[in-house]
Amino acid sequence: MAKVIIFGVLDTAELAHYYLTHDSADEVVAFTVNREYLKETEFKGLPVVAFEEVETIFPPQEFKFFAPMTGRKMNKNREKVYLDAKAKGYEFISYISSKATVFNNPIGENCFILEDNTIQPFTTIGNNVVLWSGNHIGHHGQIKDHVFFTSHVVLSGHCVVDSYSFFGVNSTIRDYLHIGEGTLVAMSASVTKSTEPWGVYMGSPAEKKPIPSHKVY
């Protein structure tokens, strides 16, 4: 059992608190936000402290960290907090719902894996990956770091997903594809070919659209 500090005080942090409290052996002991966002000193009956000094109040030797944030800026915001907390010396937990189906898959740190995800055998998940509810993650796949799956995505077997990619709701990926770094797959898109880095893919069959992904998310 770890004593955990959660980054944030908005919806995702509140959800993380709920999931850890009701469905894990870990204990949430505090929240932290950047000082400029520190409006309240208490949330869910627990202290909220400035991220800039969190390590002096909750030393990394005694406490673990969890930053289950959104995919904004193509996961770069979450990556920054993850790396900053790592530089302070924290180790991270990952949350894997008891209602997810997993098969001893290697899963990295600071992952947030919600209910009804199926991760089939021989698929690996990197660090700082979010699988919101209800995705099918096919067998013999590789999901690298800082990736975000929203909900009801079908990633077929043998796919490699490079870092920073984002999958909109109900998107579908054919088997054996390589999803290039920072790919944004739009909601309901049907991806039939491997993707180029930092492209936005929409439609069925999905086509690359001239929308810079960093402007959208």
Give me the residues that bind ligand COA (CB under 6 A), please.
150, 168-169, 186-189, 200, 202-203, 211, 216
Phi first, then psi: give them for residue 149, nearest 5 degrees: -105, 130
Q: Is 71 annotated as a binding residue?
A: yes
Of residues 54 and 189, the one with the C-beta less far from ligand COA: 189
Give the bridge partners for 51, in sequence order.
none
Phi first, then psi: give them for residue 216, nearest 5 degrees: -80, -50
Element (H, E) at 9: none
Position with the least CB separation from ligand COA: 168
Of residues 16 and 28, the one with the C-beta less far from ligand COA: 16
Closest Cα partner for 63 from 18, 24, 30? 30
Backbone torsion region of residue 77, taken as left when φ is above 0, otherwise alpha when ψ lies between -120 and 50, otherwise beta? alpha
Of residues 37 and 217, the one with the C-beta less far from ligand COA: 217
Closest separation between CB of residue 25 and ligand COA, Å? 28
Which residues contribute to the annotated binding site for substrate? 71
